[in-house]
Structure 1
Amino acid sequence: MTLSKYDENWWKTATIYQIYPKSFCDSGSKGTGDIQGIISKLDYLKHLGVDAIWLTPIYQSPMIDNGYDISDYYAVNPDFGSMEDFSILLELAHQLGIRIIMDIVVNHTSTEHKWFQSALGDMKSPYRDYYIWKDPIDGKEPNNWLSKFGGNAWELDPLTNQYYLHLFAKEQADLNWENPKVRQEVKDIISFWAEKGVDGFRLDVINLISKEQNFPNDDKGDGRRFYTDGPRVHEYLQEISHAVFQKYGSVTVGEMSSTSLEHCQQYSALNGKELSMVFNFHHLKVDYVNGDKWTKTAFDFIQLKQIFHHWQTGLNGKGWGALFWCNHDQPRIVSRLGNDEKYRIESAKMLAASIHMMQGTPYIYQGEELGMTNPAYTEVSQYRDIESINMYDLMVNQKGIPHEDMMAILAQKSRDNSRTPMQWNNQQHAGFTNGIPWLEIAKNYPDINAEAAIKDLNSVFYFYKRLIELRKQISVITDGTYEDLLPEHDRIFAIARQNDSQTLLCINNYYDEEIECNLPERFQIIKSQCLLSNYPQSDSSFLGYKQILRPYETRILLIEED
């Protein structure tokens, strides 16, 4: 397959596969994944049918935040391999018709980056103004903003008695985008990789790059309202897009933290002045208590449907969204919203169908296509994620939350739930490595693995493969309108997608019991084709007024206009 650089909208019917390299495949015995390991699995990805791979950061990094703390944007981390390895990956992927999307982190750098090292302790450094520095106020931090990883968002440089801003770990210093030299550096970095033939970029927390310049105290929250979707963010993105993205024809997806629909309509506007598409996370906060991630509760199903409706109708005809359940920061969806024991296969398929049948570009996170689950860790020592470890310390040692309660929360919410190594086969360490895995593998790998899935034509793998094919075959999935048919139903998520010639129904039971649903009257006696289901279907091609759905059942039905 030859990739066409002139197919500018290839991503609208594409499915993108996210690889977290550290946990994907180890070509040797290091215990961590690498680029050669990815190369060895390209045929697997071709068999699945994905159009592109999104690689989380593979740059030089001290790995405080697993690569999202970059110390050299122009070098490949030796833990993953070499620049030559990357060039081989790019070439071989392209030969198979698979594009490569790189992760770019330009809200902040590692404090080990040469820019920051020059700026640290030297107010006259040419790189001092690459970062955000403020004087103490009354001997304390410049304001009360909080880091997303816990604690204050400011760290003191004792040699100059100024604080630098870090919205994440203290080893991740925020860049000063007000400085045009910083923006030029970003253009140069992205151009370097685009020149190598990289097809697109995922931009980490890109809506945080513009901050309110008076840096006020926040008497209502943690400070995010003063730097989320900030005052110059659209200006900055248009500048970068015009100089780089449009020049190279790069597909771009922006990770948007705590954003709004109105801003995302601008970020992903169909005129292409900023980004191709956006990630938002509102649908993955339906199991937070009062917006607090570090709580344990059942998900709010009605709220989930309301959020989908808000974003699907709001972006239709105005922008473009990324569709996803899982990534390296989110727990496994089959454990989170499904049933990862008795109905693991059924619920994994149902959740896949309900997200893939919406408008947008679907993303599959490694192992999602196998129905991989959370690992159910029982000890703090099993976790490696800096956020999880910091929050355990804060909640247990400082706030007095019982150890057992916090362990239950981590088992539901920790980022390490999705970072366990990919389960390739039933051999030692799930075929991930010949060494000792950097993170303990889920104990169910003898049953849940890629080798077993490929041998089973009814597996979750082949269900995902069919979803990927349908997106290319059925136009209404890409261009149809969106309607929630049963918005108040407390068990069923049923949507209609419609264009001039087709109507597609996707009906999903989100629970572990048989349930009856009554479709709207206009669908009572209509001939339809069942495109896909996770249960055997009857021979009848007519929709009835009453539909009986089995536990976690999904049905994708196509109605062709006469």
Structure 2
Amino acid sequence: MSTPDAEDVPWYERAVIYQIAVALFRDTTGNGTGDLCGVAEKLDHVKELGATAVWLQPFYRTPDLDGGYDVIDHLEVSDRYGTLDDFDDLMARAKDLELEVIIDLVVQHTSVGHPWFRAACRDRDSRFRDFYIWTDEPHETIVEPIFPSVEDSVWTWHEEAGQYYRHTFYSHEPDLNLANADVRDEIRKIMEFWLERGTSGFRVDAAPYIVAEAGRVEGHEDGYWFLEEMRRTVQRFRADGVLMVESDVDPEQYADYFAGGDRVTTLLNFWLNNYLFLALARKDAAPLRDALEAEPVPPEGCNYAIWLRNHDELDLERLTPAEREETMAIFAPHPAMRAFGRGIRRRLAPMLEDPRQRKLAAFLLCALPGSPIILYGDEIGMGDQPELPDRAAVRPPMQWSRDVNAGFSEAHEIQLAHPVITEGPFSYAQVNVEDEIGDPDSLLRTLRTLFAIRRDHGPHLASSARPVALPQEQVFAVRYSDERSTSLLLANLDPQGTTVTLPPDLQRDWKQIVDDQPYEDLVNGEELALHGYGYRWLRIEQA
């Protein structure tokens, strides 16, 4: 199959994206909270890792009851994180390093402290009253609580307003009424504000709920049309601007989000993420191979984004209940490791106890079609803090060195936004950037190599990905082909070594690009060796 030349592919299809929680990355003021200046200071690390873009989690004004996703002012930087000038300086530094910057767009809800909500509660006749969704009596809706163990209803009574307001997420995050044209106009203004400051686009939080609300607008059968409006807003400032949406839905709905390339540019691929962990749990490639075959190829100019872990629980809702329990039994055997009845509140490294398996997972991140996203700290194998509640468990401060507070902050430990990890195998004395830079066998150095290989050998486009079934069920294999070359990537999901039997059409004179350890066997025969949790990246130039 013919695929575009690398130079013809939009930047986001070639991207390696580094996800940053500003509050937990680097504190330059000594107040215990990370800031925008700290992000700018550490962008060299991001660049050297091989990332080409950063995704900044919310840095807006917030009471910070939900990791910054409870916004008070979308057009202001929280004074805990700095100023708009600091943001502009960060953008300038990113431009110097040729890094794209994607920011979170949180417009499904606001904080109860947002001026819109306060005005809506004070006066039923205020124009802001219709910015939110109200009822005199709670009633059944298609919206259900996202956090059922925390909120038992989507309706909460507000004494001053004299009505119940709806909230899909926490009760301190009232849902915006996107059926109101004034709300949609405010969203456009928010997008324009940050695009004018040079951002490369947005990661759209809670996209399915935005679509559902926009579907209530008269004259529209569904709400996907609003994604087209958002895309046009981005394109007015930058033709190749990205609209990356959080949409945990089944593949049958992907076409509605892409719309032939007119809506979403990048879809966060929860489907493949879920079946990757089922495959790891079973040590069987079939779930991952079948999931890859089942998802549609994105239209031209669109792609998937893939990841291993993010800042939330590892949500396994795409799996069947039996598959979900099977995966949790391996990676979250204790109830305290689980969240909301659907996910795992652990970081990647503690879930994958064998260091070889962590490197294998890094290889899979680069082997699967789409733009890899790596959460801050996962490049060094940071741990989690199960003693903290809910999703806070997977949000420790970044571990830069063995210095006080892991080099994250010079503040007293009681001032820290989150406590640093001080004990056990994932303490900052054991796991940190400074030590791993000097260790050629470290996870950090492995990821640097893998990202460099991915950059040098072109993007892995979904249009050219072909999963390969092998007699060895524990080995995941995927083939990529274009007019110039063919790549074959092999990953052994089992801790025991094996010998791979290649099908006749793949028994070729391969050149080895990268592997987990040196292999002695030739690569032009019928069989190839793989170590336990081993991997090999093979390539051949077309005649």
TM-score for both structures, normalised by structure 2: 0.83
Task: Give the Cα–Cα distance (whole angstroms) in 1 for the partners of residues 11 and 277 of structure 2.
Answer: 35
1:313-324 matches, within 5 Å, as 313-315=296-298, 319-324=302-307
Contact residue 8 and residue 249 of structure 1 kept, 8 A: no
* 3-state SS of 1:172 partner: coil
Residue of structure 2 equivalent to 1:128: 129
Superposed CA offset, 1:101-128 (max 9, x none): 1111011111111111111253211101
Three-state SS of the structure 1 residue aligned to 2:103 is strand
Q: How does 1:178-193 map to 2 (within 5 A)?
A: 178-193=179-194
Q: Aligned residue for 1:546?
A: 527
Q: How far 1:304 moved relative to its partner?
A: 3.4
Matches within 5 A, 1:114-513: 114-136=115-137, 140-143=138-141, 145-150=143-148, 151-211=152-212, 232-249=222-239, 251-269=241-259, 271=261, 273-286=262-275, 302-311=286-295, 313-315=296-298, 319-329=302-312, 330=314, 331-336=346-351, 339-340=352-353, 343-344=354-355, 346-375=356-385, 377=386, 382-384=387-389, 388=390, 415-435=391-411, 436=413, 437-442=416-421, 443=423, 444=426, 445-475=428-458, 477-478=460-461, 481-486=464-469, 490-513=473-496
Aligned in 2, Cα 1:154/1:8: closer, same or farther, shift over 3 Å? farther
Q: Is the Cα–Cα contact under 8 Å of residues 303 and 461 in structure 2 kept in the other structure?
A: no
Q: Per-residue CA shift, 1:17-56, capped at 9, x if unaligned? A: 1101121111243222111211221221222222111100
Q: Aligned in 2, Cα 1:168/1:521: closer, same or farther, shift over 3 Å?
A: same
Preserved CA contact (<8 Å) 1:302 1:488: no
C-alpha contact (below 8 Å) 1:23/1:419 kept by paired residues:
yes
Q: Distance in 2 between matches of 1:255 and 1:239?
A: 14
Aligned-pair distance for 1:142? 4.5
Query: Within 5 Å, which residues of 2 pair with 1:41-52?
Result: 41-52=42-53
SS at match of 2:85: helix
1:527 corresponds to 2:514: no
Distance change in 2, residues 1:213/1:75 (3 Å): closer
Contact 2:251 2:271 in 1 (8 A): no
DSSP-derived class of the 1:506 partner: strand
Distance 1:421 1:254 in 2: 25
Report deviation, 1:417. 4.1
Q: Which amino acid in structure 1 is aligned with residue 127 of structure 2?
A: P
How many residue pairs end up in the alignment? 490
Verify the 8 A CA contact 1:132 1:165 in the aligned structure 2. yes
In 1, Cα distance between equivalents of 2:282 and 2:65: 31
Task: Please list the CA deviations of residues 67-119 of structure 1 after superposition, one character each: whole Å capped at 9, or x if unmatched.
Answer: 01111011101111111111111111111111211111011111111111111
Aligned partners of 2:167 and 2:173 also within 8 Å: yes
Equivalent-residue separation in structure 1 for 2:540 and 2:475 (angstroms): 20
Give the fraction of aligned pairs with identical amino acids, expressed as a percent. Answer: 29
After superposition, the Cα gap between the structure-2 partners of 1:318 and 1:179, relative to the gap in structure 1 and judged at 3 Å, is same
Q: 1:484 to 1:141 in 2, by over 3 A?
A: same
| CA distance, structure 2, for counterparts of residue 214 and residue 461 of structure 1 | 45
Give the drift of 1:209.
Answer: 1.0
Q: Tell me the alpha carbon deviations over residues 302-323 of structure 1, each in whole angstroms, 9 at most, x when there is no partner.
A: 3333223323x53365841112
CA–CA distance in structure 1, aligned partners of residues 103 and 518 of structure 2: 40
Q: Cα RMSD (Å) of the superposition?
A: 2.8
List gaps (5 residues or longer) in structure 2: 1-6, 315-345
